[in-house]
């Protein structure tokens, strides 16, 4: 039987750093207000003209290099993004062109902050069914383009960045279990309710969020989906070496870990320095922890995401 396993990781953060002190000069907020409500101190902001595929390309090349491969070895490209370069073609197709590997399937996944978990699950099915051998999965976001920089409830929370993994066919299980969900009845709780019509933007082109509803929902479904994948794999929370949730808010992340009875020293957190990078947050945190030597081969990882829609999902894997 064919399984899939992560064989390489990579990430990229734009050069510009926007601190809470910088935001104090832009909007009615304070460093203390931001930190106590989110745990965020700073975030990265894409340069003018720097788009999602640029961030994705930098992260992807690093992931491919770390896997000891070349772009020509990749036979599936999936980009999870809420902030694509354009309406179409997909950012995945643009990334594929930049990598010089035309011919293999390439498409975007739009599940907001759960996008990377969704894309990883899809790639796993491609590999297990024999339709691909080496898949490139990237989460890439430029949220700075869809923020109202006068709205202190949203603009302080998000950042730009990209993270990537290469998933390869293996004789040994890597992806142990995965579960995906969505409930569109919550679509008004976290959204960008605007669209292009006749060359003009109709509705709001900025992130709108009911923070209280998002918090309560996220903590509940993180716990539920964690138990779903653990049960499916026949494991318990004690078997988990590292918990990598979507990096939205440190209070959500720590509350979820406590509900799971998981020691906080097994919680991977980068939100302090990255902010919420949506679909990029999990692969960014994963690559940083792998590069630092915290995550080692054979470790069991629990990944979980929740995002607008609402969408949510979890993946249990052996690194």
CA distance 159 to 3: 34
3-172 to CATH, choices 2.60.40.420, 3.40.50.1440, 3.40.47.10, 3.30.413.10: 3.40.47.10
Written as one string, the DSSP assignment of 189-240 is TEE--EEEETTEEEE--S-EE-HHHHHHHHHHHHHHHHHHHHHHHT--GGG-
Contacts of 37 (CB under 8 A, 6+ apart): 249, 251
pLDDT at 8: 98
3-state secondary structure (DSSP) of residue 264: helix
Which residues are identified as catalytic?
A: 113, 246, 276
Q: Are 120 and 165 in contact (CB under 8 A)?
A: yes
Superfamily of domain 176-318: Thiolase/Chalcone synthase (3.40.47.10)
Residue 107: φ, ψ to 5°: -160, 160
Angle of CA points 50, 52, 57, to nearest 5° = 90
Per-residue pLDDT of the chain (319 residues; tens, 9 = 90+): 999 999 999 999 999 999 999 999 999 999 999 999 999 999 999 999 999 999 999 999 999 999 999 999 999 999 999 999 999 999 999 999 999 999 999 999 999 999 999 999 999 999 999 999 999 999 999 999 999 999 999 999 999 999 999 999 999 999 999 999 999 999 999 999 999 999 999 999 999 999 999 999 999 999 999 999 999 999 999 999 999 999 999 999 999 999 999 999 999 999 999 999 999 999 999 999 999 999 999 999 999 999 999 999 999 999 9
Residue 196: φ, ψ to 5°: -95, 130
Structure-block tokens of residue 229: 């994948």
CA distance 100 to 116: 23
Q: Where are the domains of the chain?
A: 3-172, 176-318
């Amino acid at each position: 039987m064919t399984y899939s396993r992560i064989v390489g990781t990579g990430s990229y953060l734009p050069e510009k750093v926007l601190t809470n002190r910088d935001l104090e000069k832009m909007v009615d907020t304070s460093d203390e207000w931001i930190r106590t409500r989110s745990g965020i101190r700073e975030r990265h902001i894409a340069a003018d003209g720097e788009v999602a595929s640029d961030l994705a390309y930098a992260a992807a090349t690093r992931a491919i290099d770390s896997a000891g491969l070349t772009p020509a070895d990749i036979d599936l490209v999936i980009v999870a993004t809420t902030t694509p370069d354009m309406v179409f073609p997909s950012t995945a197709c643009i990334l594929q062109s930049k990598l010089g590997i035309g011919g293999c399937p390439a498409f975007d996944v739009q599940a907001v902050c759960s996008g990377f978990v969704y894309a990883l699950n899809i790639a796993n099915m491609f590999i297990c069914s024999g339709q691909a051998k080496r898949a490139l999965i990237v989460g890439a976001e430029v949220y700075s383009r869809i923020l109202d920089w006068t709205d202190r409830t949203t603009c302080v929370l998000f950042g730009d960045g990209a993270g990537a993994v290469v998933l390869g066919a293996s004789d040994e299980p890597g992806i142990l279990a995965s579960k995906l969900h969505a409930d569109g009845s919550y679509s008004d709780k976290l959204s960008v309710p605007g669209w292009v019509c006749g060359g003009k933007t109709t509705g709001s082109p900025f992130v709108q969020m009911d923070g209280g509803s998002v918090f309560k929902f996220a903590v509940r479904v993180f716990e539920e989906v964690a138990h779903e994948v653990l049960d499916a794999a026949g494991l318990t929370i004690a078997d988990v070496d590292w918990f990598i949730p979507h990096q939205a808010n440190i209070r959500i992340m720590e509350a979820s870990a406590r509900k799971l009875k998981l020691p906080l020293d097994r919680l991977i957190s980068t939100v302090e320095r990255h902010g919420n990078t949506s679909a990029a947050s999990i692969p960014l945190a994963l690559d940083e922890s792998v590069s630092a030597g915290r995550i080692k081969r054979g470790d069991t990882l629990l990944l979980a995401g929740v995002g607008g829609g609402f969408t949510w999902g979890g993946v249990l894997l052996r690194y």
